[in-house]
Amino acid sequence: MERTNHTVTEFILLGFTTNPVMQLVLFVVFLVVYSLTVLGNTILIVLICNDSRLYTPMYFFIGNLSFLDLWLSSVYTPKILVTCISEDKSISLAGCVAQFFFSAGLDYSECYLLAAMAYDRYMAISKPLLYAQAMSFKLCACLVTASYLGGFINSSIITRKTFSFDFCHDNVIDDFFCDLLPLVKLACGRKEGYQALMYFLLTSNVITPIALILASYLVIIATILRIHSTQGRLKAFSTCSSHLVSVTLYYGSILYIYSRPGSNYSLDNDKRVSIFYTVVFPMLNPMIYSLRNKDVKEALKKLFK
């Protein structure tokens, strides 16, 4: 059947399942995850703001990471919860544009912020005597500001390009949010220039930060190997282990979705992976950076007292 272009005023989000029982189960699961996300990230931000022992560059970056995760989760999860329990699965065009813009901006900002955190760990381990002087508050604020600016500038570019397409008859998005690949699948017309833009954004927002992180950790590993005592090596490694876990989980899921050939593209698999870095990962970050952290535990005890 020939498909003709028309003006789309809303999209339909299919989500995961049409089974009412499973939708209720998913509603409960997502509600619990979102509640833990809000609670965990809010507590971590409060601790970092109120405890003077946490007034360091590392915790300044962690606080901003928690802020990004809190905001990112709030972009997705409320709409997912409504979709699970409501018969109305629609999202307006304006709502889809807003969700797409903020989710892309926050994701890209987090990519840059994780790279800035890797540089912080590089300075702390490789140049400990110069660390306090080199990682000044001014530099940390500039790195965080640049992360936000870079993320949302790139988000503006990709959002404008994506929604400049005409969409065909089918306005059904086989996903739980307005994501890049499902939207491109619905778009009509020539997409060669768009493919080049996607590769550029993938390189600037994902590949480049990963390269900077790898370069930082190569120097960190070389520095740790030069430490003679086993205890000293373990202590040095423990200061960056949480960041390594965070980077592996976050970039691993993004690269799985956006770096595969088109022949390997599967919406069902991608929905499972994307739910991890959009909903589950923001819940895990406070745990990753606090469970094995003595300073955070002490600050938490002090807060409850």
Residues of the chain where predicted confidence (pLDDT) is lower than 70: 1-7, 168-169, 189-192, 257-270, 291-292
Distance spanning both ends of the chain, measured CA to CA: 68
Q: How many distinct structural domains can be found in the chain?
A: 1
Kindly provide the b/e burial profile for residues 126-142, where b requires at least 16 CB atoms within 10 angstroms of the residue's own CB.
Answer: beeeebeeebeeeebee
C-alpha of 82 from chain center: 22
Q: Residue 89 has what pLDDT?
A: 83
d(C-alpha 180, C-alpha 247), whole Å? 22
Q: Residue 45 has what pLDDT?
A: 92
Q: Is residue 3 part of a domain?
A: no
Q: Where are the beta strands (DSSP E) in the chain?
A: 10-13, 90-92, 172-173
Q: Which pLDDT tens digit goes with each residue over 199-231?
A: 788 788 888 999 999 999 999 988 888 888 888
Report which DSSP code applies to 206. I
Among 117, 99, 113, CA closest to 205: 113
Q: Residue 162 has what pLDDT?
A: 85
Q: Is residue 2 part of a domain?
A: no
Residue pair 11/72 in contact (Cβ under 8 Å)? The answer is no
Is the sign of the CA dihedral 114, 42, 257, 95 positive or negative? Answer: negative
Q: Is residue 253 part of a domain?
A: yes
d(C-alpha 234, C-alpha 8), whole Å? 57
Integer angstrom CA distances of residue 154 from 8, 145, 208, 255: 24, 14, 14, 18
Burial status of residue 51 (CB atoms within 10 A of its CB: 0-12, 13-18, 19 or more)? middle
- CA dihedral in degrees (164, 170, 175, 181; nearest 10)? -40
Q: Is residue 15 part of a domain?
A: yes
- Can you tell me which residue has the tokens 């606090």? 290
Range of the domain at 283: 10-304
Q: Residue 1 has what pLDDT?
A: 34
Integer angstrom CA distances of residue 192 from 2, 97, 159, 189: 22, 22, 17, 10
Q: Residue 51 has what pLDDT?
A: 83
CA angle (225, 255, 82) in 5-degree steps: 125
Q: Is residue 73 part of a domain?
A: yes
d(C-alpha 209, C-alpha 267), whole Å? 26
d(C-alpha 83, C-alpha 238), whole Å? 41
Q: Residue 62 has what pLDDT?
A: 92
Extract the tokens encoding 169. Answer: 């008859």
- The CATH code of the domain that includes 16 is 1.20.1070.10
Q: Is residue 150 part of a domain?
A: yes
Q: Residue 241 has what pLDDT?
A: 83
- pTM attached to this predicted model: 0.88
d(C-alpha 297, C-alpha 305), whole Å? 12
Q: Residue 260 has what pLDDT?
A: 58
Q: Is residue 164 part of a domain?
A: yes
Report which DSSP code applies to 264. G
Q: Is residue 4 part of a domain?
A: no
Integer angstrom CA distances of residue 26 from 43, 57, 127, 263: 25, 38, 48, 30
C-alpha of 292 from chain center: 22
